[in-house]
Structures are given as structure tokens and as C-alpha cells.
Amino acid sequence: MTPVRTAHDTVSGALAALAADRATGALSGERGVVHLADGRVVHVESALTPDLGSLLVGGGAVTPENWWDAVGRDGAHRRVGRRLVDGGRLAPGALQLCHLGALFDAAYFVLAHDGPVRRFRPGAAHWLGPVRPVPVDTVVRESRRRRALLDRIWPDPAVDTAPLARTADADVDAGPLPVRRGRILARVDGVRTAADIAAALACRTYHTLVELRRLAAGGLVVPAPRPAASASPAPGRPGTARDDPDTALLRRLKDALEAL
């Protein structure tokens, strides 16, 4: 087997080396996991974004029953996506579009701030199965482009991850807002994060971040004040990436879908 080089300080540096080695496996960082096959990105997971199942079910593309049937029957075989398509539950184009959206949303959190590497699991394959692999340099470039755009709207990245609160102006002088922005503002309650709001609306995290940064720039949204004594995070809440992503992600996915 060709040796895999992972002695890099950042996820993007490790990904470049893994792409050069045409490696297959799962690379864990602080904010998520990047899955590779033959040196190309096949999936990205982050606890800071809604997962693919939540987006498909929340958007009405598949039913919860169809999704869990596919996961139960072919999750162990890494063919969940193929099961949905072959069973007529989902058009190939719809799966590709939703998968790429989820992939780039999660990649933004993993790569835009480019934290340190945790570990690489050679040979690990994602339960979804291949949908549409993406070159590593494309994923890295797009993540940095998104960060630059968001920073031009409002330069405080805390809006992306912190619980958010409405300001007094949001209740007194918000004025008419575009429909999507108004729906997002209505769900800002001092507890929800951008990921929570995106999941509640079954929409892409990046689109939610754009609107939240615009709301912050307009003085309508701010990161919520930190509690005086921070409690330990509840299991499964957004924050750190997990070294065993498959089990944890499926558990989160099941909880989210059952709540719909």
C-alpha cells in the first residue's frame, strides 16, 4: 500500500497530501470529517450543518420511512444513495444536487478556518456510498471563497457558530425583510445556532449564514451572551468533530428525522 502522508498542521495541508497519494479514508478535523476515495472528496460531515438525510426528508425529497429503509438495508454495504436511486425513491440528479450542497456546506466549517488534523483512518468508507466525487482543490477553493464572501458581508465569524439573539432593533425597527431573511430572523431566539435554524427550515447552511451575516450587519442579530456558568455540552450537540463519525452521525440523523 502506498504510504499516506498526514504530518501536516492543517486539514487543507493533509488533504493536499492525501489527494497526491490518491488515498481512501476519513480525515478528522476539529469541526468535521472529510471522506476520500482515490484522492477525491466523496462526502464531508460536520456537526455544525444539517446532514444529508435531514435535508432530503425536511425538503420532501424522500419520506423518513424510505430514508431509514435505505440506511437499514444498505448502510453496512456503503450503498445508501444507490438504494434510494435504484428503488425509485429519488432521481439521480436530485441526489447529486442535495449531496453536493451538503458536502460544500460542511466543508466550509471544516476548511474555511482550517483547523488542526485529528487523525486519518485509511480505508474507511462512508455509509452513503459514492455519489459525485469532487477534487480536493475544488473543495478547498470553494470553502475559502465562501469565507471571503461572508466576511465581506459581516466580518465576525462568531455568527456562524454561536447561539444568536435578536437585538432591540429587530423587534422595533426591522422594517420589511426579504422572505427568506424574515423566516430566519423569526427563528433567532437566543438559543438556536445557524445550524439549528438551517435544520428547522430544512435549508442549506450556507444560504442561512449569508442571511444571518446580513442581519448582523444590519444590527438585528448578535451572538447571544454567554451564560455565567457553562454546563458540559449535551451528547450529540454541535461543537467538535468525532473520531467515529458513522455511528454518531446516524444517531443524530435518527433523532432529527424522528423530530420532524
Compute the radius of gyration of the chain from its Cα atoms: 19
The answer as to whether 142 is a domain residue is no
The answer as to whether 87 is a domain residue is no
Judge contact between 146 and 112, C-beta under 8 A: yes
The answer as to whether 156 is a domain residue is yes
pLDDT of residue 255: 53
The answer as to whether 192 is a domain residue is yes
The answer as to whether 193 is a domain residue is yes
The answer as to whether 191 is a domain residue is yes
User: What domain range is 204 assigned to?
Assistant: 152-223
Q: What is the total count of domains within the chain? A: 1
pLDDT of residue 176: 85
The answer as to whether 89 is a domain residue is no
Q: What are phi and psi of 243, to 5 degrees?
A: -75, -15
Long-range contacts of 133-136 (CB under 8 A, 24+ apart): 133/37, 133/38, 133/40, 133/41, 133/42, 134/40, 134/41, 134/42, 134/100, 134/103, 135/19, 135/40, 135/41, 136/15, 136/16, 136/18, 136/19, 136/36, 136/39, 136/40, 136/41
The answer as to whether 110 is a domain residue is no
pLDDT of residue 106: 95
pTM given for the model = 0.80
Single out the residue of 206, 214, 150 nearest to residue 178, CA to CA.
214
pLDDT of residue 240: 37
Residue ranges of the chain with per-residue pLDDT less than 50? 1-5, 230-249, 253, 256-257, 260
